[in-house]
Amino acid sequence: MARWNLAAASVVLGALTTAALAQTTGLKDVYRDDFQIGVALGGKLPDSYSRAEIQMIVNQFNAVTPENCMKPQSVHPQENVWTFDEADALVQFARDHHMAVYGHALVWHNQTPTWFFEDGAMPASRELALQRLKEHIQTVVGRYKGQIRSWDVVNEAISDGPAEYLRKTKWLTTIGPDYIDQAFRMAHEADPDVELQYNDYNIENGVKHQHAMKLLRGLKERGIPITSVGIQGHWLLDRIPYSDIETAIDDFQQLGLKVSFTEVDLDVLPRHTNGADVGSKEMPNASLALSGTALDDVLKRQADQYARLFRLFDQRKAVIERVTFWGADDGRSWLNTWPSHRENHALLFDRQFQPKPAFFAVINALTPPPAPGQ
């Protein structure tokens, strides 16, 4: 496909600034023949976003993931209470702007109300927990049948440590390890045509990749209707495991699974916490704020590393369905509050919704550099 070159385009278009050019050059258009470019959105659409943000979102992205509004805590806060206002608004927003919707997430150990696991003053039995799980999944999946491209059925079920294979959660202790199988079967029953995905962080390298292969291979061998795996992609500046990412894509492909990068961002501030466990917290460090030449240097390195990532993605485009950024711009990034409150710069657009060096690097990642003298 033809690739955009913003430097050349600036000469042709003359008066357009690079920021204005970004309004006419969408990530979704540049990578249209490769994979979808998605964004995670929160709040109630479109009211929670400014007009300028909305314009940037619809110009740049062709897929949307709900950041929180489809999680159990949001849609099913009490056993007989359902709240679909925000989720319905997101689906309508996507329909209005011709964007695919990727549902997130049916089963997670966080943002799940405790009532799922209680029976009065006693713990819920396996049978009661399974009944509630089935009702939850079939209600949510059934409501959006035919409107969701894919569901994150189970999110972050693998342990971070080497000693245990599955994370010890209330789902695991109440139902047993087959809660994962059960969830996929329930989702498939509710919508036989929707794609079903397992989603997690750090499953591209180390012992967690080994555990992911064990989980996914077992699901496939037992005939569980899983179609894809989501690598979240919450990476740190200067520490992106490029080689491991390539190997993981190939490994997952060999299992007959498609791959998506579901929650991509690139943290430019140092932290002790590895991975993306929302339960991990650190003390705030005001000295981490970046400005001036220090920020300029960081944004240049970030741009180079984002470009290398997208070149890697392009090389594996036959397997990759989408690349979704976890937030539309730096002001919306969860990395401003996790693992501590700090001003981060993790995405392709700044707090004024203007394109950063990383945006132009990604736009031009596949464009050969001009020959000397040109």
Contact call for residues 41 and 325 (beta carbons, < 8 A): no
Tell me, rounded to whole angstroms, the distance of Cα 124 from its chain centroid: 32
pLDDT for 289 equals 83
Spatial neighbors of 286 by CB under 8 A, at least 6 apart, are: none
Low-confidence ranges of the chain (pLDDT < 70): 1-24, 286-287, 369-374
Residue 293: inside a domain: yes
Residue 100: inside a domain: yes
The domain in which residue 317 lies consists of 6-271+288-341+349-363
pLDDT for 19 equals 54
Residue 157: inside a domain: yes
DSSP string, 298-356: HHHHHHHHHHHHHHHHHHTTTTEEEEEESSSSGGG-GGGTSSS------SSB-TTSPBP
pTM: 0.93
pLDDT for 368 equals 76
Total count of domains within the chain: 1
Residue 261 forms beta bridges with which residues?
231, 323
| pLDDT tens digit sequence for 265-293 | 999 999 988 889 999 999 887 667 899 99
Nearest to 73 by CA among 119, 125, 144, 140: 140
pLDDT for 202 equals 98
Tell me, rounded to whole angstroms, the distance of Cα 268 from its chain centroid: 18
Determine which one of 67, 195, 263, 321 is catalytic.
Answer: 263
Residue 138: inside a domain: yes
pLDDT for 326 equals 98
Told to judge if 156 belongs to the known catalytic residues of this protein, a careful annotator would answer yes
User: What burial class does residue 18 get, using C-beta atoms within 10 Å of its C-beta: 0-12 exposed, 13-18 middle, 19+ buried?
Assistant: middle
SS3 call for 159? coil
Structure tokens given for 176: 């047993």
SS3 call for 238? coil
CATH number, position 106: 3.20.20.80
Determine which one of 156, 195, 204, 321 is catalytic.
Answer: 156
| pLDDT tens digit sequence for 220-247 | 999 999 999 999 999 999 999 999 999 9
Residue 278: inside a domain: no
Cα dihedral 183, 187, 189, 194, rounded to 10, equals -150
pLDDT for 158 equals 98
pLDDT for 28 equals 97
Residue 181: inside a domain: yes
Residue 371: inside a domain: no
Residue 374: inside a domain: no
